[in-house]
Amino acid sequence: MKKVCIVGSGIAGLSCAIECAERGMEVILVSPFPSERAQSVLAAGGINAVLSSEGGDSIESHIEDTLKGGCYIAGKESVKGLCEDAPEIIKKLEKLGTVFSTGENGKIAQRAFGGQSYNRTCYCGSATGKQIVTALVMECRRYEGLGLIQRRLWTDFYKALIKDEKCYGAVFFNEARMDLEIIYADYLVMATGGQNALFGKTTGSTLCDGYAQGRLFLQGVELKNAEFIQYHPTTLETQQKMLLVSEAVRGEGGRLYYVEDGKRVYFMEDLYGKKGNLMPRDIVSRTMERTGKEIYLDITFLGKKEILKRIPEVYDLCLKYRGIDISRESIPVSPSVHFFMGGIAVRNNHETNIKNLYAIGECASIYHGANRLGGNSLLAAVHGGRVAADSISEDKSETDVKNFEKDLEEERRKLSTRWASESEFPVVYLEDLVAETLKEDLGIVRDEERLLNGLKDVDYYLSVVEKLKYDKSEMPYLGFSVTGILTLAKVALTCALFRKESRGAHYRSDYPETKEEWQAATIISYDDGKFNVRLDSENVYES
Ligand SMILES: Cc1cc2nc3c(=O)[nH]c(=O)nc-3n(C[C@H](O)[C@H](O)[C@H](O)COP(=O)(O)OP(=O)(O)OC[C@H]3O[C@@H](n4cnc5c(N)ncnc54)[C@H](O)[C@@H]3O)c2cc1C
């Protein structure tokens, strides 16, 4: 029986675990926290699929919108697979217990999201992520009962076991025992989500820090499109984080405006017409930033009854965390880091450049090109799990075992030299510093000077980090993860400096045009201590 170790138990990890179990494989699903704390539960707006051609929608249109939204650097074949699988995915999620909102005809209701030609976003009120996670967890439990899935909590990824460009499992940090341990597996699937913590206060979870991607990069795994970071245009600042004001609000007719000479200026509609508020996120965010004004989002005209029916969670969130009753007043909004189009480079079957090492969900880069359309990432998380499970179950190559116990001892020794019982260095400061640097130098609008400045700062942090000792009792995970996190920050800055054009979420004020010769993915690798960046014009990752 093939043994698959999946790292991360958000929607991508859960989906892959279930699909592998369905195909008779043994699964170990590892994460530091239960699925209910994964960032996936925050997803509010919905999941895209063409369910009917009645209103004129088609799978071809979904494919074209996705490719266009991604500024034509996502692979056509992978996007085709994603959109074709979408109706089947909705059926399956519903069968597993996801309660989708329905229209008056009793059929699944679909709303408009940015960059879409038709209403194709299925939703569960404004708690789509929670509903899907709950359904998948229940199914996972069933397979746990059957002995096919084993869930492991309080366990953090440390490094992959790689020999001769092939993966054999991973080393983990067991938080209960405060020690490293090996899990051997025929296949390792990374599903560790995005990199929000790199930017401090964002819409996402601080548990998504990108450490795994950074560490894998240092182990020879190629990363892709790291410069494409999506700023969500409508977020609401609170003490702890930027609250997402879901695109569903604009999908339900919400209007963006600023006030000039006592009058409202609906700037997106003035610039782009009726659908202006629902332009792709990169365009809305940049336009908002350019106005230099306080921006507001108005949905009051919908009335409380409809608001409570269609976007109840947005109503609750604004009231609870900022005391704003959105049925009576406009919401003050600003753009904030939200989603990462870049990540681990994978082929169409979700395998990386290392044999038997896969990546799925937000930590992988494949479907979204230069900019993701709302509703497409939940879809990609579920679909990626299915594709990886298919590929693994069909793989006929021999599985073999290697012994890594000596390496484990070496890692234990290295780690113990990093820990001091009474170190007073608060390692979280480094996270704060890198977040400040990235916000300043890798923002919505970039230029060479700022990017070089950011690189200089991150290089400095990297030069000190190796010399620091960490208090093991305080934050064991941060102590070893910070190098990986900083490495990923350097990767993103390096890729942003490399791409001398503007495309999707990557806007360079010194290279404002989109150029044909850059219509390709950015691939970055680590060889002999150096960061090497290239354009993948031959589409090696599209096969
Ligand atoms: C506020 C918000 C709203 C959103 N709304 C929508 C929406 O309406 N529609 C849509 O399509 N998309 C939406 N998204 C995006 C979407 O939710 C994510 O892209 C998707 O859920 C990612 O799923 P995932 O399984 O890849 O990652 P996650 O759900 O982030 O799961 C990652 C898993 O990896 C684990 N992990 C992390 N690091 C480690 C480590 N070092 N070792 C071990 N495990 C680790 C975590 O604990 C977690 O279990 C939204 C995102 C946010 C932040």
Using an 8 Å Cβ cutoff, are 288 and 272 in contact? no
Residues across the chain = 543
pLDDT value for 496: 98
Could you list the beta-strand ranges (E) of 284-399: 295-298, 331-340, 343-345, 357-359, 364-365
Give the number of other CB atoms < 10 A from CB of residue 238: 14
CA–CA dist 46, 159 (Å, integer): 33
Average pLDDT over residues 253-278: 96
- Number of C-alpha atoms within 13 angstroms, CB side, residue 316? 10
- Residue 257 is given by DSSP the state E
Q: Does the beta carbon of 378 lie inside 6 Å of ligand 1? A: yes
Q: Which two tokens stand for residue 207?
A: 């548990």
Task: Using the atom order of ligand 1, give the atom closest to the CA of residue 375.
Answer: 11
The alpha carbon of 204 and the centre of ligand 1 are apart by a number of angstroms equal to 8
Q: Does the beta carbon of 361 lie inside 6 Å of ligand 1? A: yes
In which band, very low, low, confident or very high, does the pLDDT at 423 lie, cut at 50, 70 and 90?
low
What is the residue whose two structure tokens read 């049925």?
Answer: 327
Q: Residue 429 pLDDT > 90, yes or no?
A: no
CA-closest residue to ligand 1 atom 13: 43
In which band, very low, low, confident or very high, does the pLDDT at 240 lie, cut at 50, 70 and 90?
confident
Task: Using the atom order of ligand 1, give the atom closest to the CA of residue 45.
Answer: 8
| HEC per residue, 133-200 | HHHHHHHHHHHHHCCCEEEECCEEEEEEEEECCEEEEEEEEECCCCEEEEEECCEEEECCCCCHHHHC
pLDDT value for 473: 64
CA-closest residue to ligand 1 atom 37: 192
In which band, very low, low, confident or very high, does the pLDDT at 424 lie, cut at 50, 70 and 90?
low
The alpha carbon of 241 and the centre of ligand 1 are apart by a number of angstroms equal to 16
Q: Does the beta carbon of 42 lie inside 6 Å of ligand 1? A: yes
CA-closest residue to ligand 1 atom 14: 43
The alpha carbon of 338 and the centre of ligand 1 are apart by a number of angstroms equal to 11
In which band, very low, low, confident or very high, does the pLDDT at 421 lie, cut at 50, 70 and 90?
low
Per DSSP, the three-state class of 157 is strand
pLDDT value for 467: 76
The alpha carbon of 196 and the centre of ligand 1 are apart by a number of angstroms equal to 10
Choose one of 9, 40, 153 to mutate for the ligand 1 pocket test, by most ligand atoms within 8 angstroms of C-beta: 40
% residues pLDDT > 90 (the chain) = 82
pLDDT value for 385: 98
Work out whether the CA dihedral 199, 202, 208, 210 comes out positive or negative.
Answer: negative
CA–CA dist 114, 119 (Å, integer): 10
pLDDT tens digit sequence for 271-328: 999 889 999 888 999 999 999 999 999 999 999 999 998 888 899 999 999 999 999 9
Which of 281, 446, 450, 499 is labelled catalytic? 281
Q: Which two tokens stand for residue 65?
A: 């919108």
CA–CA dist 457, 437 (Å, integer): 7
Give the number of other CB atoms < 10 A from CB of residue 95: 10
The alpha carbon of 452 and the centre of ligand 1 are apart by a number of angstroms equal to 30
Distance of alpha carbon 13 from the chain centroid: 13
pLDDT tens digit sequence for 465-490: 877 777 666 666 777 888 899 999 99
Residue type at 213 in one-letter notation: Q
The alpha carbon of 229 and the centre of ligand 1 are apart by a number of angstroms equal to 15
Average pLDDT over residues 1-8: 97
Q: Residue 181 pLDDT > 80, yes or no?
A: yes
pLDDT value for 475: 63
Using an 8 Å Cβ cutoff, are 159 and 484 in contact? no
In which band, very low, low, confident or very high, does the pLDDT at 207 lie, cut at 50, 70 and 90?
confident
pLDDT value for 100: 97
Q: Does the beta carbon of 191 lie inside 6 Å of ligand 1? A: yes
Choose one of 6, 113, 314, 378 to mutate for the ligand 1 pocket test, by most ligand atoms within 8 angstroms of C-beta: 378
CA–CA dist 208, 186 (Å, integer): 26
CA–CA dist 282, 288 (Å, integer): 10
CA–CA dist 524, 502 (Å, integer): 19
% residues pLDDT > 70 (the chain) = 97
Q: Which two tokens stand for residue 301?
A: 């005209």
Residue type at 194 in one-letter notation: G
Q: Residue 419 pLDDT > 80, yes or no?
A: no
Q: Does the beta carbon of 200 lie inside 6 Å of ligand 1? A: no
CA-closest residue to ligand 1 atom 20: 40
CA-closest residue to ligand 1 atom 3: 43
pLDDT tens digit sequence for 378-405: 999 999 999 999 999 999 998 888 999 9
Assess whether 111 carries a catalytic annotation.
no
Q: Does the beta carbon of 31 lie inside 6 Å of ligand 1? A: yes
pLDDT value for 14: 98
The alpha carbon of 495 and the centre of ligand 1 are apart by a number of angstroms equal to 23
pTM for this prediction? 0.95
Q: Which two tokens stand for residue 235?
A: 């977020």
Distance of alpha carbon 477 from the chain centroid: 21
CA-closest residue to ligand 1 atom 4: 43
